[in-house]
Structure 1
Amino acid sequence: MIVALPVKPQFSLGPLILAVVCIALYLVGEPATDLLAYDRYALESMETWRLISGNLVHTNGYHLLLNLVGLLLLWALHGEHYRPITFLKIFVWCSLGTSLSIYLFSPQLIWYVGLSGALHGIFVWGACMDILNKMRSGWLLLGGLVVKIVLEQTQGSSAEVASLIDASVAIDAHLYGAICGALLFLLMWLFTLAADFFSARRKA
C-alpha cells in the first residue's frame, strides 16, 4: 500500500518554517544559544522571550538532527492537519506551556533547549485530531506516547541519547508538552463546538 505524504504547501509550510528557523539558529552558534535558551535565572531577570525561544535552539548537531527527524515524522503522520498558521500557533502555545510548566513545577531544571517538549504536544494534538476524524491510528499513537512518557517518568531517560546530545534528556518537558497538546486540542474543540452552536442558533 502506498501512503501519500502531505506534501502540498498548505500542509508542509508550517513544519518547514520551523525547521529552517532551528537550522538558522544552530548555524549562528553559541551566541544564539546563550541569548535564547530557557534559563531560570535569566527568566527571573525578566528575559521572558526565553519561554518560547528556548525551544528553537539545540545543544549540538545531533540534538538538532534528532528533533528535525521527529518533526519530519510528525509531519508524515499528521501533516494533513497542519495548516501553516494553525501549526505555528500550536507550536508557540506548546512551547510556552512547556516552558512555563518547567518554571513552575520543575525548579531543579535550570537550563533547557530543544524542540522535544513542544513536539510531544504537537504529537498529542495530531493524534487527537486523528481520533476526531475517526482514524483508529490516533488511539494507537496516543496510547504509545502515554506508555513512553510513563516509562520515562518511572525509569528515567536514555543514557545513550543524553550522551549523544551532550545534555540530560528533559523528560519533564516531554510530559508537560504532551499535557499542553491535549489541553490545547480540548480548548480548540470546545471553541469549535461553541461556535457551531451559536451559528446554528442564529440561523434558527
Structure 2
Amino acid sequence: MTLREDILDLWIPIILPWVTVLIWLRKRIRLLRIRGKGGDGYFGYQFAMVAAIAAPLVVSQEYVDKISYDLIEVNSISEIPKVKEGKYFKVNSFDVEDNASLSHVTVGTSGRYNGSLNFNLFYATPLRGSASVWHCVEYKRTISNNLNKQRKNLEYSSFLSRSNKEFNTYNFYSVTYFEKLAISKERDGFINAVKNEYPVINMNDQIFLVPKNVAFKNQNNDSLKNTIIAFLIGTLIILILIILPKIDTNELNRFKRNKPLRDDDFKDFLEFLNPIGTYKGGAILMILNMIIFLIMIFIGLDFVSPAAKELLDIGGNRRQEILNGEYWRLLSSNFIHSGVFHLFQNLLGLAISIVFLEKIIGYLKFILTYVVCGIFAALASFYWHEDVVSVGASGAIFGLYGVMLAFAILKIYSNFILRFTWIFLGLCIGLSLLFGTIASVDNAAHVGGLASGFIIGVIFVLMGKEALRENAVYD
C-alpha cells in the first residue's frame, strides 16, 4: 500500500511535530512563564514550536526526494518500464504519437468555504516504443467560486479553448529530463484521461512522465540551500522561544515531582476519544469518523480535496445511486469527508454537541440520534439535489443541534447553560446556513438533519422531561 505523494511530502512532516510537541514538549513548555495579559499563551507557544519544526521538514522533503533518486540515462522509452525504482529519466531518443493524445478535465473547489473553483486539463500522449509510457502535460486555472453560473461557464469555455490552442502548438521535444509521477492527484488526472479511452487497461502498470526543462543538478543545489536556511531559521526561532521567558519555579517543582499539569487542554481533548470514558457515544463516533478517513487516505484518496467521483465510489450519497437501490449510501455518506479540513470542522461541531447533549440523553441515544438524523439529512439531500455527491457528518451533527434546540425551547437546560446554548445555536446554525448560500455547502442536508433532530428532541421530552432536567444539571 503506497501513500499519496502529498501525504509523504507535506502532511506527515506537519503532523509529526505536533506529536512531538504534545507528547514530549507540552509539559516542558509549561516551565516557561509565558502567561500574560492576553491570557494563556501556551497554545501559541506550542503552535510556534510546531511551525519551527515542521517548516524545515517540509522544505527538506524536496531535497530528500532529489538525493534519493539518481538521474537515469536511457537510450529509448522501452527501457523505462524495466527500471522499477527510477523516478528521473534522461531519454536520448524518443518519439510521441501526437495524433493519439487523450484528455481529461476536472473541475473542483478549494480554499476557505470552497471559495475557489479550479479547472484542470490533462493531456496524456503515448510514447512510441512502449505501450505503457505516457507523455503528460497539464493546464490549470483558478477562478472565484462566487461568480454567477453564466460567468463560470464562460470562464470554463475560455480555459478549454486557450488550453487546446496551446497544446496544438506544444513542443514535445523541448525537455531536459522526465519525472515519473508518484501516486498523486496529478497522476489521477492522467489516469482518467487514459481510462476514458481504455477502461480495461491495468493502470498500475502505466507510467506517466512529466517533462522538465531545467538542469537536474541545479534543482539539487537549490533544494539543499533552501533546506539549510529553513533549518537555521527554525533553530533560531526555537532558541528565542526558550531564552526569552523566565522559568516558573512552581511549575519546575511540580515537573521534578512528576506531577500532572493543573490545566491540561490536551488531556481534556483525549477524554473525547476515550470510548470507555465520560463521553462514550461521542468518542465512538469521533473515532469511527477518523478511522474511515484514514482508510480513505491509505487507499489513495486526496488528503485535502478528494474528487467527487472518488467520494461516490466509496459510499457518497447521490440521487441516481439511491434510485438504483443503493440505500446503504444514506448511512455511509455520514462517515465520509471531503478532506481533512472538512473532517476537522465536523469533529469540532460533534465535540461541542457532545458536551451539551450526551450526558443528558445517554450515549446509546446519542449514537442513535446521530445515525437517524444523518439518514434523514441524506434523504433531504437526495430530494433536493439531482446530481450532487453529498458526504460528511454535518447533517447528523445538525440533527444533534436540533435536539439541543428542542431542549432549549422546552426548558430542559438550566438558565445558566441555556444562555450558552442559545448563543452557540444562533451562531453555528445561522453562519452555516448563510455560508451555504454562497459556497458549496449542502444546506439541504443541514435543514433535514436539524428538523429531524428537533422532532427527536421533542419525543425525548415527551418520554421523560423530569429525567432529562435532572441529567442536565452540570457540576
Tell whether the structures are fold-level matches, with TM greater than 0.5. yes
Instruction: In structure 2, give the amino acid aligned to 1:20.
Output: I
Structure 1 Cα separation of the partners of residues 361 and 387 of structure 2:
31
Equivalent position of 2:412 in the other structure: 132
**Aligned 1:1-204 pairs, distance under 5 A:** 9=276, 11-29=278-296, 30=301, 34-104=313-383, 106-108=384-386, 110-129=388-407, 131-138=411-418, 141-142=421-422, 145-146=425-426, 149=429, 153=433, 155-157=434-436, 168-192=440-464
Contact in 2 for aligned 1:128/1:185 (Cα 8 Å): yes
In structure 2, do the counterparts of structure 1 residues 148 and 66 end up closer, same or farther at CA, with 3 Å as the change threshold? Answer: closer
Checking the alignment, whether the CA contact within 8 Å between 1:25 and 1:57 is kept in structure 2 is yes
Counterpart position of 2:230: none
Distance (whole Å) between structure 2 residues aligned to residue 112 and residue 16 of structure 1 = 24
- Pick which of 30-39 and 69-78 moved more: 30-39
Q: Is the 8 A contact 2:407 2:461 kept in 1?
A: no
- SS of aligned partner of 2:441: coil
Q: Which runs of 5+ in 1 are unaligned?
A: 163-167, 194-204
CA contact (8 A) 1:51 1:100 kept: yes
Give the 3 Å change call, closer, same or farther, for CA 17–148 of structure 1 in structure 2: closer
Structure 1 residue 42 displacement after superposition? 0.9
**Alpha-carbon distance in structure 2 between the residues aligned to 1:15 and 1:78:** 10
CA distance in 1, matches of 2:460, 2:355: 22
* Offset at residue 37 of structure 1 (A): 1.2
Q: Deviations over 1:19-56 (max 9, x none)?
A: 11111111121477623211211111111011111110
Provide, for residues 127-166 of structure 1, a one-character-per-residue CA deviation record: whole Å limited to 9, x for no partner: 434631444533653465356545655x54386xx6xxxx
Which string of whole-angstrom CA distances, capped at 9 and with x for unpartnered residues, describes residues 79-121 of structure 1? 42252211111011111111112223x1346211111111111
Tell me how far apart the structure 2 counterparts of residues 79 and 189 of structure 1 sit (CA, whole Å): 15
Query: Given that residues 56 and 113 in structure 1 are in contact (C-alpha distance below 8 angstroms), is that contact kept between their aligned partners in structure 2?
Result: yes
The equivalent residue for 1:197 is none
Letter in 1 for 2:285: L
> Contact 2:318–2:386 (CA<8 Å) still a contact in 1?
no
Q: 2: distance between equivalents of 1:58 and 1:152?
A: 17
CA contact (8 A) 2:292 2:336 kept: yes
Using structure 2 for the length normalisation, give the TM-score: 0.34
More helix by share: 1
Would you say how many aligned residue pairs link Structure 1 and Structure 2?
181
1:168-200 per-position Cα deviation (integer Å, ceiling 9, x unaligned): 21122222211111011112222447xxxxxxx
- TM-score norm. by structure 1 comes to 0.73
C-alpha distance 93-62 of structure 1, shift in aligned 2 (>3 A): same
**What SS class does the counterpart of residue 335 from structure 2 fall into?**
coil
**CA-atom RMSD in angstroms:** 3.0
2:392 partner SS: coil
Sequence identity (%): 22
Distance 1:53 1:126, change over 3 A: same
Q: In the aligned structure 1, how far is the partner of 2:355 from the partner of 2:320? A: 38
Q: Hey, what's the Cα distance between the residues in 2 that align with 1:119 and 1:103?
A: 18
Contact 1:125 1:184 in 2 (8 A): yes
Aligned residue type for 1:137: I
**Greater RCO (CA < 8 Å, at least 6 residues apart):** 1
Q: Which secondary structure does the structure 2 equivalent of 1:186 belong to? A: helix
